């Protein structure tokens, strides 16, 4: 079990630039989630994939955000025209579809700083 892998670990960008993050879930996991965590807060749900289908998107995910999971394996999260308010830790998690309580395995996140 190599765990959930996220890349990069840290990203510093200037306001207005586009950024893309990658998540590689645990290989047999068919469910993949993106959460966002700002300083001093718990994570907030952004979006959910089952295989390659994006089945749920939070209202937090403005039209500047897009997530894909093209082959049902790795996923990318792109933020266009970044704003300072986008600065946060972006966490990816994966799980098996064996029931609603199948545990989430989180990656170590990508910390985004928008200057």
Judged by beta carbon, residue 14 or residue 42, the one nearer other proteins is: 42
Q: Checking DSSP bridges between strand 44-50 and strand 5-7, what pairing results, if any?
A: unpaired
Please pick, from the candidates 20, 68, 74, 104, the single residue that binds other proteins as defined by CB under 8 A.
104
Binders in 11-70 for other proteins, by CB under 8 A: 31, 33, 35, 40-45, 48, 50, 55-56
Please pick, from the candidates 19, 61, 93, 114, the single residue that binds other proteins as defined by CB under 8 A.
93
106 touching other proteins, by CB under 8 A: yes
Q: How far is the CB of 16 from other proteins (least distance, A)?
A: 27
Q: Which helix (H) or strand (E) holds 21?
A: strand 19-24
Instruction: Give the span between the Cα atoms of 31 and 35, in whole angstroms.
Output: 13
Q: Are 82 and 16 in contact (CB under 8 A)?
A: yes
2 touching other proteins, by CB under 8 A: no
Cis peptide before 34 (omega within 30 of 0): no
Q: Checking DSSP bridges between strand 10-13 and strand 110-114, what pairing results, if any?
A: parallel
The residues of the shown chain that bind other proteins, judged by CB under 8 A, are 4, 31, 33, 35, 40-45, 48, 50, 55-56, 91, 93, 95, 100-109, 111
């Amino acid at each position: 079990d190599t765990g959930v892998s996220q890349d990069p670990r840290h990203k510093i960008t200037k306001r207005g630039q586009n950024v893309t993050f990658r998540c590689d879930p645990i290989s047999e996991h068919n469910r993949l989630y993106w959460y966002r965590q700002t300083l001093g807060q718990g994570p907030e749900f952004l979006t959910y994939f089952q295989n390659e289908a994006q089945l749920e998107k939070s209202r937090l995910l403005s039209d500047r955000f897009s997530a894909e999971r093209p082959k049902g394996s790795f996923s990318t999260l792109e933020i266009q025209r970044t704003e300072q308010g986008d600065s946060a830790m972006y966490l990816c998690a994966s799980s098996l579809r064996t029931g609603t309580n199948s545990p989430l395995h989180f990656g170590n996140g990508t910390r985004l700083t928008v200057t």
